[in-house]
Amino acid sequence: MTSPSADTPDTPGTDAPAQPFMRTIKSFVKRAGRMGGGQIRAMEELGPKFLLPYQPGAIDFEAAYADAARAAGQKHSERPLVLEIGFGMGEATAKIAATLPDTNFLCCEVHEPGVGALLKRIGENHITNIRICNHDAVEVIDHMLPPGSLDGVHIFFPDPWHKTKHNKRRLIQSPLVAKLAARLKPGGYLHCATDWEPYAQQILEVLTAEPLLKNRALASHPELAGYAPKPHYRPLTKFENRGIKLGHGVWDVVFERV
C-alpha cells in the first residue's frame, strides 16, 4: 500500500471506503498556521459563496458556477472546468483565474490559512470563476468528480518530499494519475510543474506510463526531451522568481487525454 489514494473507491457518490480500516499515506502533513485577520474576514464574508463543502456525491457544477456563467453572459456548458490540487497561498491561482475568465476553477487545498488567503485575493480582485474545496483533493477526486468531468488539471510545485523515505508521500504516482486521466475529457490536459529535478523525472515517467495520456510537448518541442515550455497562463510566482535568480530550474510537464 504505497499510493496516497489506492484504497478508496473510484465512483463519486460512494461514501464508504472499500477497506475502511486501512491507513492511507497522505501527500500532505497538516501544518499549524494562524489565520491573519484579513483571511478570517475573507473566510466569514466570502466563504459561504466560494467554498464547496466536501461531501460524497457528484458536484452539481451548473449550480456551483451559476454566478460565474451569468457574470460572463455565457451558458454553463460553454465554460471549461479545471481542477487545481494544492494551491498554497493562491498567488498563481488568482492570477490564472483572472487570465482565463471564461474557465471555471475547482481548487483544493488542505491548509486553512491558504484557503483564507485565496478567498482574500478573490475579494480584492473581484474574481468569480473559482470555487474552493478545503479538503484532500484525492478524496474529492474519488467521491465528487465523475469520469469525463474535467477539461484540465493543474498541479504546481507539489510538495517534493525530498528524502527517499518520504518519496511515497508524493502526490503524483500512477494510481492518482490513472484517476485523473479517467476524469479528463478527451483532449483535456494535465499540467504539472516542479522545481525539484528528481520529481520532474518521476512525473515524466509516471505520466508517460499512463495509457490514457500522451505528451503534448513531444511533437511540438522535441528538443526539450519530454518537458514543455511554460504555458502562457502559468504566472511566475515570487517563490519561482527567487529560485530562478538562484539558478534553480523549473520543469513543466503537459500531457493530454487521448
Comparing every residue's Cβ against ligand SAM, the nearest one is 86
For residues 5 and 128, which CB has a smaller minimum distance to ligand SAM in the complex? Answer: 5
∠ at Cα 237 (40, 151), nearest 5°? 85
* Distance of alpha carbon 81 from alpha carbon 84, whole angstroms: 10
Q: Nearest CA to 179 among 8, 22, 55, 10?
A: 10
Closest distance between ligand SAM and the C-beta of residue 112, in Å? Answer: 10
Taking CB under 6 A as the rule, does residue 83 contact ligand SAM? no
R_g of the chain computed on alpha carbons: 18
For residues 156 and 255, which CB has a smaller minimum distance to ligand SAM in the complex? Answer: 156
* Distance of alpha carbon 145 from alpha carbon 14, whole angstroms: 11
- Mask 144-163, x = binds ligand SAM (CB under 6 A)? ------------xxxx----
Residue 195 annotated among the catalytic residues of the structure: no
Binding residues for ligand SAM, rule CB under 6 A, total: 22
The footprint of ligand SAM on residues 14-33 (CB under 6 A) is: 27-28
- Mask 43-82, x = binds ligand SAM (CB under 6 A)? ----------------------------------------
∠ at Cα 230 (226, 233), nearest 5°? 135
Paired strand residues for 81: 104
In the set 15, 159, 195, 252, the catalytic residue is: 159
| Cβ(59)–Cβ(145) below 8 Å | yes
Taking CB under 6 A as the rule, does residue 168 contact ligand SAM? no
C-alpha cell recorded at residue 153: 488539471
Q: Nearest CA to 193 among 226, 227, 218?
A: 227
Taking CB under 6 A as the rule, does residue 200 contact ligand SAM? no
Paired strand residues for 194: 251
For residues 69 and 90, which CB has a smaller minimum distance to ligand SAM in the complex? Answer: 90
The set of catalytic residues is 159
Give contact residues for ligand SAM (rule: CB under 6 A): 27-28, 85-88, 92, 108-111, 114, 136-138, 156-159, 171, 237, 239
